[in-house]
Amino acid sequence: MNRVLKYAWYQLIVILTATVVTAVTIGVIAIYWPGKEFSAIIPLGLFALVHFYRVFFPLKAGEIAFDERDEKIKNRATNIFVILWYVFILSCLIPLLVIGNGSIHVMYLGWLVFFAAVFLRITWSIAVIVQYGRGGNNGQE
């Protein structure tokens, strides 16, 4: 398994684990400590582990970080950024359609940007994994 594919799996596992841990924490806090749900944002710090990939998986001497095929796959996976903008614009319009001329709390706009970024990372990871899966032999040719 090459470095880009390892990073895609690592990123997907970290994000899904952080999402599950945060959801369970919010549920427990909502049941046992109602009114204190805001403190459930603490487990969101697990999302920062995505950026520690180079610490956990350092580049070994003589190892090639990526080749032309890896670069092509990364570029195609990054093109899904266009999809993110469609989702982001749609999610900005949904409150307008649901609430109408009412007001929306500013906190929800921050959450909107956060979940858009999480959606981008999940989609990028899945796109990389699918593209390497097409190559056969575990992404190696």
Mutual angle of helices 3-32 and 106-134, in 10-degree steps: 140
Phi, psi (5° rounding) for residue 81?
-55, -30
The Cα–Cα gap between 139 and 130 comes to 10
Q: Give 37's pLDDT tier (boundaries 50, 70, 90).
A: low
Residue 104 in this model has a pLDDT that exceeds 80: no
Q: What pLDDT, in 10s, does the model give residues 60-86? A: 777 677 778 888 888 888 887 777 778
Q: What is the mean pLDDT of residues 21-36?
A: 82
Q: Give 10's pLDDT tier (boundaries 50, 70, 90).
A: very high
Q: Give 51's pLDDT tier (boundaries 50, 70, 90).
A: confident
Q: Give 141's pLDDT tier (boundaries 50, 70, 90).
A: very low
The Cα–Cα gap between 140 and 82 comes to 28
CA atoms within 13 A on the CB side of 131: 22
Q: Give 2's pLDDT tier (boundaries 50, 70, 90).
A: confident
What are the tokens at 114? 């956060």
Q: Which of 58, 63, 75 is nearest to 128 (CA)?
A: 75
DSSP string, 21-56: HHHHHHHHHHHHSTT-GGGGGGGGGGGGGGGGHHHH
Q: What is the mean pLDDT of residues 86-101?
A: 78
CA atoms within 13 A on the CB side of 49: 16
This model's pTM is above 0.75: no
> What counts of helices (H) and strands (E) characterise the chain?
5, 0
